[in-house]
Amino acid sequence: MAKISINIASGSIEKKKVIVGIDLGTTNSLVAFVPKGDENAQIIPVRGNNIVPSVIHFDVHNIPAVGAFAKDKLLGDPERTIYSVKRLLGKNYKDIPQDNVNLGYRIIDDQSDNLVKVQVGAKFYNPIELSAEILKELKEQAQKTLNADVEQAVITVPAYFNESQRQATRDAGKLAGLDVLRIINEPTAASLAYGIQTQSNGHILVYDFGGGTFDVSILQIEDGVFEVLSTHGDTYLGGDDIDKAIVDYWQNKAREANFELDDFSILRHHAESAKIQLSNDPKTVFEYKINSDFNLLLDYKTLVSIAEPILEKTWNSVNRALNDAQLKHTDIHEVVLVGGSTRLPIIAEKLNNWFNQSRINNQINPDEVVALGAAIEADVLAGNRTDVLLLDVTPLSLGIETAGGLMDVLIPRNSKIPQRVGREYTTSVDGQINLKVAVFQGERELVEQNRKLGEFVLKDIPSMPAGMPKIEIQFALNADGMLQVQAKELRSGVSQKVEIQPSYGLTDAEVEQMLMAGLANAQSDVEERLLRESQNEARQIIYTTERFIDKNANLLSEDEKLGTEQRIEAVRGLLDGSDRHQLQAKIEELNDFSRPFAERLMDVAVSKALKGNRIDQMK
């Protein structure tokens, strides 16, 4: 398969370059490509296997090993063996549901908004670095297998991944030395793998039930064009949960027999073996001997009842996706099964009954179909096919914070991407010159319940009465699901643009010094906030004092007016600086100077008011 080309001009041997498709799975990862001149994708074997367990083991010197070798260490060396890292990707500790903290290894709660960290011996790793280890293994081994350079890739993510999880995946690729051409949704990739062969127009439902995530997506194919109509899912639902439910079941059985089963890792391993044995051969009974008095048992019927509450959630998602796409189940022509967990016979049975007019597609290996689709997308991007076009959809609404902490949605969930939307806003305070634009993602009314993606300040809006400025906020969501936000005051043309970085705020340069940078930013963020608060206070006091002097000019001495003006200028001079202590001191000076005559005039105003005149409000 390997080919070598020779550059005639230089006489040197050139390795060919291959763009790969990568399924970076929670449980297993795969890499695939489309050979030149071919149109079918193939899995690239890694150390002789198509499937690479997404597991990383660190030896005592913290040298990483990825894949089957690492998976074998789950039992013997769980504290140094990291699995399901995709579940931690782009997340803070507080984002992680409690029952998912029950891993064999240590994740660190540093009581902050920073990235989750994993502790291995004396070292700390974040999920981006860990995912990069998996990608590095795929890249390097693919290069060996193909005897080609692998520098560019398409990487898939669950449809329900949010912006920061997508960005984290991109960063992991970069860290592994890959130019990530595109991030695409796993169900989209799977349908692409099947869609090539699909001649007819119609609706496809992709049911992807893997080890750690569940997605259902509804796609439309029309004249070779794929369009995602809706997606629904749960990034915390997968075959792992079935394994855990089996462990719970066994632990209950053991407790009834006055037995203590405590090694979670070993039990998990056997639970998965039981599940796979029974789904391949439902007539057998799984048996694991603990000792002469006690056996762990499982049969298919029990397995199905244990899995039922988990499967129920997937059926609910199917209904929600159908609703979002405004389709009935009879509108679905094809059902595509993706993910190792769809090998449980009950799943195809259920979908067969439910969608009995549709074709159930499970001919392509459910473990491989996503990587194969990613490779086809890579081939499209390489310019090797013109027959396919991909339209994607955004799974969560995107919007900004407006007065009162309300979420104002600019791009609703399930909008097609790429997408560009603009909306006009204005100020609520006279002379407002700064406007904070805070960007959120989610479906709740209050921004505090949604996920904050980032914020920036539109500065130097010319001072105008409240309601006068016309501020246009524009959201541009590109084909990768990355968001660009622009704010522009239309009367003056003042504008500012940002590429939204997820809340952990990684820039390219920071990818290298990830951990420390996170901590350093947290500190400077606090400093920045304190400085802003002082600046706001300074602006407020300049505003009110100047108004006060204007209104009462004839009641003040020249010294009072001049002295006040000088002190206002001193505050103003520091307004754009970065020393908040100095600014605060000047604010105090101004306050101290104006207080005595302000109080004197207040008394006059109050006595006037008592005679029936209006008090000028001092605000």
Q: Which two tokens stand for residue 543?
A: 């505003």
Contacts of 288 (CB under 8 A, 6+ apart): 270, 274, 295, 296, 297
469 binds, among Mg ion, ligand ADP, none (CB under 5 to 8 A by kind): none
Mark the segment that binds ligand ADP (CB under 6 A) among 268-276, 286-294, 410-418, 483-491: 268-276
186 a catalytic residue: yes
Quote the CA–CA distance of 208 and 371 in Å, as a whole number. 13
- Is 28 an interacting residue with respect to ligand ADP (CB under 6 A)? yes
Query: Which residue is listed with tokens 């700390």?
Result: 124
Residue 211 CB, nearest distance to ligand ADP (Å)? 3
Q: How far apart are CA 156 and CA 463, in angstroms?
A: 47
Under rule CB under 6 A, which residues in 81-140 are in contact with ligand ADP? none
The count of C-alpha atoms lying within 13 angstroms of the C-alpha of 77, restricted to the half-sphere facing its C-beta, is: 18
Under the criterion CB under 5 A, does residue 25 sit at the interface with Mg ion? yes
Instruction: For the sheet with 56-58, list strands across it.
Output: 64-66, 56-58, 81-82
Residue 187 found at the interface with ligand ADP (CB under 6 A): no
| Cα dist from 58 to 29, 40, 511, whole Å | 18, 37, 21
Q: Which of 321, 166, 311 is nearest to 233 (CA)?
A: 321
**Which residues does residue 374 pair with via DSSP β-bridges, in sequence order?**
none
Full DSSP string of 236-303: T-SHHHHHHHHHHHHHHHHHHTT-----HHHHHHHHHHHHHHHHH-TTSEEEEESSSS-EEEEEHHHH
Q: Does 155 bind ligand ADP (CB under 6 A)?
A: no
Which residue in the list 133, 137, 171, 208 is annotated as catalytic? Answer: 208
Tell whether residue 270 is a contact of ligand ADP (CB under 6 A): no
Q: Does 346 bind ligand ADP (CB under 6 A)?
A: no
The nearer residue to ligand ADP, 78 or 212, going by C-beta atoms, is: 212
What is the rounded CA–CA span in Å between residue 83 and residue 239? 14
- Closest approach, Cβ 340 to Mg ion, in A, equals 8
The answer to whether 210 contacts Mg ion (rule: CB under 5 A) is yes
* Pick 26 or 564: Cβ nearer ligand ADP: 26
Q: Which two tokens stand for residue 44?
A: 């690239």
Given candidates 280, 449, 507, 513, which one binds ligand ADP under the rule CB under 6 A? Answer: 280
Nearest distance from C-beta of residue 273 to ligand ADP, angstroms? 9
Q: Is 71 a catalytic residue?
A: no
Does 25 bind ligand ADP (CB under 6 A)? Our answer is: yes
CB of 301 to ligand ADP, least distance (A): 15
* Contact between 104 and 96 (Cβ < 8 Å): no
* Partner touching 64 among Mg ion, ligand ADP, none, CB below 5 to 8 Å by kind: none
Beta bridge partners of 29: 24, 52
Is residue 78 a contact residue for Mg ion (CB under 5 A)?
no
Which three-class secondary structure state does DSSP give residue 82?
strand
362 binds ligand ADP (CB under 6 A): no
User: The tokens of 294 are what?
Assistant: 């006690």
Smallest distance, Mg ion to C-beta of residue 317, A: 16
Site for ligand ADP contains 233 (CB under 6 A): no
103 DSSP 8-state letter: -
Q: Is 211 in the site for ligand ADP (CB under 6 A)?
A: yes
27 binds ligand ADP (CB under 6 A): yes
Other Cβ atoms less than 10 A from the Cβ of 3: the count is 11
Q: Write out the binding residues for ligand ADP, residues 363-382 only, by CB under 6 A.
A: 367
Which residue lies nearer to ligand ADP by CB, 53 or 518? Answer: 53
User: Residue 441 forms beta bridges with which residues?
Assistant: 398, 451
Footprint on residues 303-322 left by ligand ADP (CB under 6 A):
none
Among residues 129, 133, 186, 272, the one annotated as catalytic is 186
Out of 71, 86, 139, 275, pick the active-site residue.
86
Closest CA to 172 of 221, 115, 214, 134: 134
From the list 61-69, 280-288, 335-343, 610-618, the region that binds Mg ion by CB under 5 A is 335-343
Nearer to ligand ADP, 173 or 399 (CB): 173
In the bound complex, what is the minimum distance in angstroms from residue 29's beta carbon to ligand ADP? Answer: 7
Q: Residue 524 corresponds to which amino acid?
A: S
Return d(Cα 515, Cα 104) in angstroms, integer: 22
Q: Does 340 bind Mg ion (CB under 5 A)?
A: no
Cβ 360 to Mg ion shortest distance, Å: 18
Per DSSP, the residues of 311-350 read HHHHHHHHHHHHHHTT--GGG--EEEEESGGGGSHHHHHH
CA angle 245, 247, 249 (to 5 degrees): 70
Residue nearest to Mg ion (CB): 210
Give least dist CB 463 to ligand ADP, A: 55
Question: Among all residues, which ones are annotated catalytic?
Answer: 23, 86, 186, 208
In the complex, which residues of this chain contact Mg ion (CB under 5 A)? 25, 210, 339
In the complex, which residues of this chain contact ligand ADP (CB under 6 A)? 25-28, 210-213, 238-240, 272, 275-276, 279-280, 339-341, 343-344, 367
